[in-house]
Structure 1
Amino acid sequence: MEDLTSHPQDVRGVDFAANDLSDDALLRRFADGDAGAARVLTDRLGPRSFSVALRMLGNRAEAEDVTQDAMMRLWQMAPDWVPGTAKVSTWLYRVTLNLCVDIRRKKRPDRLSDVPEPEDGKASVVDRLQDEARKDALQLALSELPERQRQAVVLRHIEELPNPEIAGVMGISVEAVESLTARGKRSLAAMLADRRDELGYDNG
């Protein structure tokens, strides 16, 4: 599979301090023929798209496919982008969520079929296994939430987006975001309550 950081061929080879540019400016530069801007924008936004897709789908391969598809749509849309109408990241989150919904509609999601490998570190084997168990439990609980609640919870509490931006991504009001997030959190807490001791959560 092609690497997620792949980008269109550089057609001008322009050198500039791209890391200091806004998403809008980078997208405009790409539309003008500078693929170096696409490299920076992919490094900046690609991981965010992948993170959302992985939490929505629970499958790394599918999340990679969604991220590549979402970024490709970003490049296709670039010539028509109007700066200031919305954030580029908001647009990408929306496309990512829509692609995830399409996949979930086509088949039942594989529960925890491909969870991320634990990072190497100084934690003991027991600690790492328990940490993975917590991640697995959270992913399973997320998969049980209604679609819109899952989207709101992932964007708010995993991606840590502000409610107004989530409202823009989901096309709903801020009040609706708050309601979905609150209901989703309550549902997650209820689903995980019986496993607190097993997962090593503090009962205090």
Structure 2
Amino acid sequence: MGRKSIAHIRREQIINGFFKVVAKKGFANASTREITEAAGVSKGVLHHYFIDKEAMVLGVLGHVLETYLAEFTEGLEKRESPTEQMEFFWSWFLDLNRFNMEFSRAWVEFWVLSKTNESIAEALRDCYGQIIGRLAGIIRKGIESGDFAKVDPLVTANTMLASLEGTTMLWVVNPMATPVEAINDKIAELFLNHLKPGQEN
């Protein structure tokens, strides 16, 4: 992999700073001054890359697609069997060092914005669509190989992601009462058992 360009590094700085401020104060209360301070850049540099906060949200979503989904896809390609790929999905998605509270709070803000902003809604649909598409593909491959039960791949993939995102929402709203690691482990266990051959309803 080649070295990152200065432009790429600056965009990452701003996106990371934006994440921190939005996670702490919410989108509506996130000021340009706070974002530049968190990112360690000047206001002029900020506006050179992102004209406004909406553009920053779209930049964050693009960053997630580019960075995290590329990482996810690379991990899948290193594993041959559908079972190994599905186990990797759970270990990857449930990594709270990657998808931590800061990330989750900002992500919930993006859900809210998507109700009134079609560009953000479309970016979220693209992100979720790609994840669901990859999951459904793993499930189809597992059904064909006999590793998985004959379930509906698309319904199962949607339900898996919905279960995880629902837990994220509960965790953000009430972190002290939401044992997120135990819940996520139970979700993974339930779905891995659901996919075992002979478990068809």
| TM, length-normalised to structure 2 | 0.34
More helix, by proportion: 2
| TM, length-normalised to structure 1 | 0.34
